Amino acid sequence: MALIVRLDVDRPYGREPWLRHALSRLSSDFFLPRLESMAYLAELKWMLGLLNAQGVRAHLFFRRCTLPSESALELIRQGGHEMGLHLEDSRSYSTFLREKQALEAALGQPVYSFSKHGSRGIKYGLHHYAPYEPEKYMEWGARAGMKLFLGNMEDPSLPAVSRDGCVCFPSAFWLEPSWRNVTLHPVSWLLSRMETHDVVMLAHPENIKASPRLEEDFMTVIRAGKQQVAL
Ligand SMILES: [Zn+2]
């Protein structure tokens, strides 16, 4: 049984300070050149450093505004992490395919996994399609030869399902407590759950970096999951 670490890479410049926050918002809607001088993907690289030091592999999901830079790719290769699509425009199969192909072209390799950007029907930015329609994603994933879909439901005990070769974990243990029933599912629940079940832990690097408490929870989980390998 295993801990499956899922990182959704939402913000190219994190949340802080104000200028980087503004650049994250602008990059989400408009094409901006990558600004290494503004610490592009600094929060992701920080988190990859923590994972690599523990030897824990993760699934990383990218938007078109957070494509990995060469320095991020180096850390990804070192840690043996998997790269997938963080689906933003989920209006139709063709918009899904367009995002998948754009990511593959940028990475120079095929991608076999995806997750969905946004939850609870909230719209994030110009290109984002807010409805969450997992049945459709399962069908599209199988049709496009994808192997893994990691879903956004908030009850982390839901079992995985499979369709035509595409495995779906419908839910995740959201490390950030705003999306988790912390009474039913404290961090200690995850630690014992992953001994007997495959379970997905979802985290967003910029949120974890901003909170010492969340960083501590993250480290507790990955240290415990150290001997267990992601898919
Ligand atoms: Zn997202």
pLDDT single digits (tens) 141-198? 999 999 999 999 999 999 999 989 999 999 999 999 999 999 999 999 999 999 999 9
Pairing of strands 161-163, 173-174: unpaired
Q: How far is the CA of 79 from the centre of ligand 1 (A)?
A: 22
* Mean pLDDT for the stretch of residues 212-228: 90
Q: How far is the CA of 66 from the centre of ligand 1 (A)?
A: 11
Nearest to 28 by CA among 127, 112, 138, 176: 127
Q: How far is the CA of 55 from the centre of ligand 1 (A)?
A: 25
Q: How far is the CA of 108 from the centre of ligand 1 (A)?
A: 23
Q: How far is the CA of 179 from the centre of ligand 1 (A)?
A: 13
Percent of the chain having pLDDT more than 90?
A: 87
> Which helix H or strand E contains 29, and what residues bound it?
helix 18-29
pTM of the model: 0.95
| 219 has pLDDT over 80 | yes
Q: Across-strand partners of 174?
A: 202
Q: How far is the CA of 207 from the centre of ligand 1 (A)?
A: 12
How many of the other CB atoms lie within 10 Å of CB of 63? 24
pLDDT of 228: 60
Q: How far is the CA of 115 from the centre of ligand 1 (A)?
A: 8
Give the homologous superfamily in CATH for domain 3-224: Glycoside hydrolase/deacetylase (3.20.20.370)
| 6 has pLDDT over 70 | yes
Going through the chain in order, the beta strands assigned E by DSSP cover 3-9, 58-62, 82-87, 113-116, 148-153, 161-163, 166-171, 173-174, 199-203
Q: How far is the CA of 48 from the centre of ligand 1 (A)?
A: 18
Domain regions of the chain by residue span: 3-224
Q: How far is the CA of 124 from the centre of ligand 1 (A)?
A: 9
